[in-house]
Amino acid sequence: MQETTSDTTIDATANPLLDFSGLPRFNDIRPAHVTPAMRQLLAEYQTLIQQLTSDTALPTWDSFVVPMTECGERVGRAWGVVGHMHSVMDVPEWREAYNAMLPEVSRFYAELGHNLALFQKYKALHDGPEYAPLSPTRQRILDHEVRDFRLSGAELADELKPRFQAIQEQLSQLGAKFSENILDATNAHAEWITDEADLAGIPEDACASARAAAEKDGKPGWKFTLQMPAYLPVMQYADNRALRERMYRAYATRASELGKPEWDNGPLIGRILALRDEESKLLGYRNFAEVSLVPKMADTPEQVLGFLQELAAKAKPFAERDLEELRAFAGSELGITDLQPWDVSYAAEKLREARYAYSDQEVKQYFPEPKVLDGLFGVIRALYGVDILPEEAPSWDPDTRFFRIEKEGELVGHFYLDLHARETKSGGAWMDSARSRHRGTQGSTTPVAYLVCNFPGPVGDKPATFSHDNVLTLFHEAGHGLHHLLTQVDELAVSGIHGVEWDAVELPSQFMENFCWEWDVLCGMTAHVTTGEPLPRALYDKMIAAKNFQSGMQTVRQLEFSMFDLRLHGELAPEGCGDDARVPIAKLLELLAEVRAEVAVLIPPAWHRFPHSFSHIFAGGYAAGYYSYKWAEVLSADAFEAFEEAGAGKGSLLDAETGARFWREILAVGGSRPALESFKAFRGREPRVDALLRHNGMVTA
């Protein structure tokens, strides 16, 4: 997929990005297709909008919403493929193609959002006689459209709209650059080990991967990068403290002023925050935190902050106990009397081994990739009665696989699975839509998802083995995928994950993680990579005993991120005017220090630059919404408790009847009704925080 062509005048009829008859033609799509395809699609959309807005007849669902939806879907699908390639194949040609069209696409959507004539058409339909006979699902779609137009500046005075549009374009470009800087800074650093003694403690498979990386570069020794499959084993297992410190410092200062100036995300952060603040003021809100919460379950920033502070008050005593135990152990058993951040993962792993007599590395040997996938698919089959079968389809990398989901022989949807880390692939893990379920004038379309992770790949003739954390991540992303794929809503705007409140969208993903701790599930998804033996019950019992090991510290870390994000977008005012307006990085770091003083128990060094790689809020959709993880965790833990209740005394929580109800009330309805209504329909009551605290071991006897 790295090849390209200088021909930018490709015949539109032969452009694979314009082919919506089936799956994306990844074997044919090239960077040179992007500009002609997107310009044609945007022009068609613009022509349609002009026709619809100039029509003097009262709009109806069929005459107005349906053509808008179908034309918009084509634009979204094509641009979605381009964005996907930018994430999983970030070579210069694809980066250039994506960035070349990003301003035009951003400008188009910004203009769309504050097109007053279009807004008036939606509003006329929303407020007119056609609204009442519509189904509740279609009424909700129109409610969302009116709300989103207002948030997109449709009601702004004409003289303010160009500025609002410019803000949207700049934010898109800055977000893309933010991600690229992180990827470039991550790929630029490597620790080269030539003395085998310096590898002491690092697992054999991680060393084998490092050796292969060095050989690929034509060099002797071992190459450890900042990619997660290489970075984490060093931080967790390397006896060489100096190596851990170097790796930690390199990772903690990525894309900051402490590295290459051209990769410094600091100026981008300051500008992003200033633009978001300006956007919120134009819309009549006090700050961006208020704007962010309009389409969410939570009502106000104060409500969210109160929720976070309540959790922090309950979690911090457990976190302080965790840290005290870690420091005592590091001092007495490891000779580390001044526990530093680069020692924490290492000391924690040693403490876990000492206390529970097992290591993550030992557990990892029981999770070879093929067995894990069989186990995941088995859980999905048991809960929802669907089958997952391999299929062939063009993809962007030979390592990618493709599957179909069937229910009683009938196609439900498809998904791509791209599990292993690559240098040309953005870090992290995510689910995204390649195609959404909907029923239109051309018939019904089944959904297609991308499931993307960055796990270690196979080494030699051995399959990849996953840590239990990797398994949790896979189940998490599969939960998002099921939300997208198992929808039974035919209206595109609220099908699957579309239209779901952002602070509820993590419910199905976090819900799935719980099954990774169940014995009857693990029995079916483990086989030692060498012997084939399943996970021993004794080792499982140790894992359960250690499940909430240091959960207090992990919880306050997430709360720190959430509170920092919320307060960042609610309290910091930019300095300067116009294009020079910025939130100073110094203020940002001061706020982070203040949040840490309230919540954290382990304070990183002053040179740590966490914000510079906080992609969720500066290049993702989580700005003033990172709290959603904890908010949804309350919902997911409570939902899983229904399976605990149903499975009590049965030896298995894979209860098909409860699974069918979860599908019907949560997954199937997508965004067609408020998330709280869906939760109450499944659980029969409002959500409670008790199950989350219990699952995390943060309850007192």
Catalytic residue among 93, 191, 477, 633: 477
Q: Which of 649, 631, 636, 654 is nearest to 515 (CA)?
A: 654
Distance, C-alpha 255 to centroid of its chain: 20
Q: How far apart are CA 149 and CA 674, in angstroms?
A: 19
Cα of 597 vs its chain's centroid, Å:
28
DSSP strand pairing (410-420 vs 448-455): parallel
The position carrying tokens 């093929």 is 370
Q: Residue 61 has which token pair?
A: 């669902």
The torsion angles phi and psi of 430, rounded to 5 degrees, stand at -160, 160
Distance CA 100, CA 120 (A): 32
The CB density around residue 165, as the number of other CB atoms within 10 Å, is 22
| 8 Å CB contact between 238 and 201 | yes
Instruction: Please state at what angle helix 468-485 crosses helix 369-384, rounded to 10 degrees.
Output: 40
Known active-site residue 353: no
Picking from 619, 615, 607, 617, the residue whose alpha carbon sits closest to that of residue 256 is 607
Q: Collapse the DSSP code of 676 into the 3-class scheme (helix H, G, I; strand E, B; otherwise coil) and give the result.
A: helix
Measured CA to CA, the distance from residue 593 to residue 586 in angstroms comes to 11
Closest among 456, 383, 298, 467 to 657, alpha carbons compared: 383
How far is Cα 165 from Cα 106, in angstroms, rounded to an integer?
A: 8
φ and ψ of 227, to 5 deg: -65, 145
Residues annotated as catalytic are 477
